[in-house]
């Protein structure tokens, strides 16, 4: 595996440049993408934690990681980048996102699809996971971030 540490959630598919408030690629909020390089380690860790929790929620509803060590070894052997400190469910997403067209037996990677998803093709599952992750990120933005920005905007007008 690349010894290079992953320093940003960016996946190179930024949609905030087109006006999205939540990036369709990495699921960070527009202001997080713009200000990332100026963030403290604590601020970055906070963003990483939110992304991990939301992605983990989506993944746990679709996949079982029954052998995290096997999954980690497979990721390293296939040189698929992942964040070692994150949940194995985030690792599973990286595997599915990068290898969905090449994987024949998910069990060989320490994963199993939950019963309601066993008939799904992995590329379709990858797309469904990505869409649900984006929807949760948008909902989080609308619920917790947008009201704060609106309130801050009102304070500057007074």
- Give pLDDT, residue 147: 81
Q: Which of 21-35, 58-72, 136-150 has the highest mean pLDDT?
A: 58-72
Q: How many CB atoms lie within 10 A of CB 65?
A: 19
d(CA 156, CA 154): 5
- Give pLDDT, residue 15: 85
pTM more than 0.75: yes
Share of the chain above pLDDT 70, in %: 91
- Give pLDDT, residue 1: 42
Q: What would the pLDDT profile of 3-40 be if each residue is shown by its tens digit?
A: 456 788 988 888 887 888 999 999 999 999 999 999 99
Residue 154: pLDDT over 80: no
């Amino acid at each position: 595996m690349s010894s290079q540490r992953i320093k940003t959630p960016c996946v190179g598919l930024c949609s905030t440049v087109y006006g999205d408030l939540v990036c369709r690629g990495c699921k960070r909020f527009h202001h997080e993408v713009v200000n990332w390089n100026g963030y403290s380690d604590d601020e970055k860790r906070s963003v990483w934690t939110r992304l991990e929790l939301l992605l983990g929620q989506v993944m746990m509803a679709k996949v079982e990681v029954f052998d995290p060590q096997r999954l980690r070894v497979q990721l390293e052997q296939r040189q698929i980048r992942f964040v070692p400190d994150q949940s194995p469910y985030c690792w599973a997403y990286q595997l599915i996102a990068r290898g969905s067209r090449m994987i024949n037996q998910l069990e060989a990677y320490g994963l199993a699809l939950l019963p309601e998803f066993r008939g799904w093709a992995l590329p379709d599952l990858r797309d469904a996971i990505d869409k649900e992750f984006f929807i949760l990120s948008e909902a989080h933005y609308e619920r917790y971030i947008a009201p704060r920005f609106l309130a801050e905007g009102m304070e500057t007008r007074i």
